A = this chain, B = another copy of it.
Amino acid sequence: VGDHGPLEAELAKVGKAPANVRVVASEGAIAMDAEPVAALRRNPRASIPVCVDLVKTGEAKAMVSAGHTGGCVAGAMFGLNRLPGVRRPGIGATLPSLSTSGHCVLIDVGANVNCKPVNLFQYAVMGMAVSQLCLGVTRPRVGLLSIGEEDAKGNSLVKETFRLFRQESAFDFKGNVEGRDLFGGGVDVVVCEGFVGNAVLKVAEGVSETLFRTIREEVKAMGAGGGSPSAALGGALQRLRARCDYAETGGAPLLGMDGHVQICHGRSDARAILNAVTGAIRMVDVGVNARITEVLAAHAKAG
């Protein structure tokens, strides 16, 4: 989905478009610095709303976008229904961790910066569905992101949510966790409000990128000095870097909407987009949305 001219020109560069690729024309894009709601109102023919429409009408089972995150969220909120029982959608990012599955789901990383405890409860349900169905974790352990492991710490949202989660039999609540616990392997799902989640995600990327850059320079400097760091070490570092690379998971699903939206990093390369498309197909195939609906319905009935 995009402006017809530029897209056809890109496709022409690689010869004919593959048989399973169809170009749907849209007009312009939601600019990265635009206020998304106003921009969507101004241009309902932009690529994001046109893409959402394809999902709404069932022509597409999922959409993948590396455009304006807020634009994707607002576009989905305007164009699609929420899943039954869902108050607000959340974006769930899959991060590398030392857990058995090798991953931890952090939700929300930026769909919603104005949360209530019930939103965080629903994020836990969504994160668990991803952990179970996409990462194979039988009984995901859920943590609540706070600024200390003790019950009494945190802001008022976290304190209220802690009390709510403690009463929940719907999931295995491990209590408050701190940022470092995201990677330690003690939890499979970490729940937080979208501003904090997004800040945390970007910091994690920043630290790992900076460290890898510095290590690479150290290794290079040693090589130049006649040291012995081998190609093998370079390979090991590269494998490790790949595990930490956002491009490997390729995007994060917007969860809670009736239709699948996969949101990618603005600077995604071809590999990231490929992985995001594969990830979106998987989300649809394993039935994450059906699971979320089912758990929320059972919870509403029990409660």
Contact = CB atoms under 8 A, between A and B. Distances in A.
Given A183-B206, A228-B228, A229-B229, A215 B199 contact: no
Contacts of A203: 179-180, 182, 200, 203-204, 207
Contact of A195 (B35, B196, B208, B211): B196
Number of copies: 2
Interface string A200-234: 11111111111100110011001000011110110
B147 A199 contact: yes
A118 interface: no
Contact of A228 (B194, B198, B229): B229
Instruction: From A98, A114, A178, A210, name the one whose CB has the most chain B CB atoms within 10 angstroms.
Output: A210
A208 B208 CA distance: 7
A67 interface: no
Interface in A146-160: 146-148, 150-156, 158
Given A183-B210, A229-B233, 5 more contacts: A158-B195, A178-B199, A179-B200, A228-B232, A229-B230
